[in-house]
Every structure is written in C-alpha cells, then in structure tokens.
Amino acid sequence: MIRKHIPNAITCMNLFSGCIAIVYAFQGSYLTAALFIALAAVFDFFDGFAARLLKAYSAMGKELDSLADIVSFGVAPGVMAYSYISTHLIAGSPSWLAWSGFLIPVFSALRLAKFNLDERQTSSFLGLPTPANALFWAFGFGSSFNIFLSSTLDPIVLVFGILIFCALLVLEIPMFSLKFKNLHWKGNRLRYYFLMGSVILLILLNINGISACIVWYILLSVLNFGFVKKAR
C-alpha cells in the first residue's frame, strides 16, 4: 500500500526543491537556486523511474508531476530571469523588460499541457523539454551569463534569448529522449553523441558547461530532424 505513494513522495521533493530555488532566486543567490533546480530535475527523473519499477502509475501522479514541474522548471527559472534582468537594467531602460522572465513559466505551462495531451510523445519529445530549458537558464544565471554577458546589452540579449527558448518549448521540433532501452549503438547513436559531447563540455567549462550541454542537445536534435526530413 505504501509502495504506490513512493513516486508521488519523490515528486513532492521535486516541488519542494523548486520552492527553495525560488527563495534563493529572489535573494540573488543564483548558483544556489540553480543547484536546487538541478536537484528538482533529479527527483523528476526518479519519480518516473520509481513509478515504472514499482508499477505505481496513477492519474494523480501524472497531474502532480506537471504541477511540480511548472514550479521547479517554470516559475523558478522565471524568477531567476526577472531578478537578474531587473538588477542589471541599463539606466533609463524600461523596468518592464524584466517581466519577460515570466514568459518562461507561461510557455513552460503550455509545453506541459501539450505534453500531457499529446500521445505522440512517448519515446521522444516535440519541443524542448521543460527541465532542459530550466537547467539552461538556471546555470546560465548561476555561472555563464555572469562571466560572458557583462556588456551593457545584457538585458536586451537575455530578453531575445528568452523569446527564442520560449519558442523552442512549444514548436513541434522533434527532440530525442535520453532514456536508454538498451546499450546498443544502434538506436542510441544520438544519445551517445550527446553524452560524449557533454563530457567534453563539462571538462572544458566545468559548471558553465551545463548550459552548453543543453545547447548541444538542441543542436543535435535539430540536425537530426533536418537529416531525417531530407532523407524522406
């Protein structure tokens, strides 16, 4: 009886981690917020793993997962974006530019709603998964952006970046899943390319490489989609 509640308990830890990330985001502690978003992503992986292992699927679990995800992978990175842009605005720039950060939870909600209703997304995705989008922004604000985007154009660049990634969340661009059904090269080629590239990026860039890994994932997915479409 207790077994069927284990996946939902793990999902609640995802939500709890996302709430803590929001607190740190408002405080400007972006790296700590990013680490809690990463922890939420770990819980998000293991709730599904636990459900499959224990055969504890439920309609409530599916809904709870989406509700937790919108907080951890939508609101939390959105607050990080709002906080960062509002504190780095150029003198005289309109304050509403910072509101663009809240497009992240809006489009994340749209992405999650589509995913719940779309029966085509069982072994792959259509659009950028919300955890991937959240990790890109979380570790971007926690590390890379503070190093590489130090010019006065920061807020404008970030607003355009937010718009691009929001589009990626809802556009029906096929994105491969990272779930391995077996360890064979055939059928897992893209996954192995992603893992090899990610290891190199993390070695070269350290924590800054996490955002770069998400860009690598997007590029691989788009290139693969282009090759498949051309082959047809």
Whichever domain contains 90, its CATH number is: 1.20.120.1760
**Helices (DSSP H) in the chain: which residue ranges?**
6-26, 30-54, 59-70, 76-87, 103-117, 130-139, 145-148, 154-170, 189-205, 209-231
Q: Is 96:44 a contact under the CB 8 Å cutoff?
A: no
pLDDT score, position 88: 78
- Of all residues in the chain, the percent with pLDDT exceeding 90 is 48
Q: Calculate mean pLDDT across residues 137-157.
A: 67
Residue 30 lies in a domain: yes
Residue 202 lies in a domain: no
Q: Is 135:104 a contact under the CB 8 Å cutoff?
A: no
pLDDT score, position 155: 75
pLDDT score, position 152: 46
The one-character DSSP state at 89 is P
Which of 44-58, 74-88, 184-198, 218-232 has the least mean pLDDT?
A: 218-232
Q: Under DSSP, is residue 174 helix (H, G, I), strand (E, B) or coil?
A: strand
pTM: predicted TM-score of the whole model, two decimal places = 0.88
Q: What are phi and psi of 125, to 5 degrees?
A: -120, 155
- Containing structural domain, residue 130: 2-173
Residue 136 lies in a domain: yes
Residue 207 lies in a domain: no
Q: Calculate mean pLDDT across residues 153-161.
A: 78
Residue 38 lies in a domain: yes
More confident residue, 85 or 14: 14
Q: Calculate mean pLDDT across residues 106-117.
A: 90
- Estimate to the nearest angstrom the gap between the alpha carbon of 204 and the chain centroid: 22
Assess whether pLDDT exceeds 80 at residue 168: yes
Average pLDDT, the chain: 85
Q: Calculate mean pLDDT across residues 168-194.
A: 83
Residue 146 lies in a domain: yes
Partners of 126 in the beta sheet? Answer: 174
Q: Calculate mean pLDDT across residues 130-135.
A: 95
Sign, CA dihedral 53-127-122-114, equals positive
Residue 143 lies in a domain: yes
Domain count of the fold of the chain: 1
Residue 219 lies in a domain: no
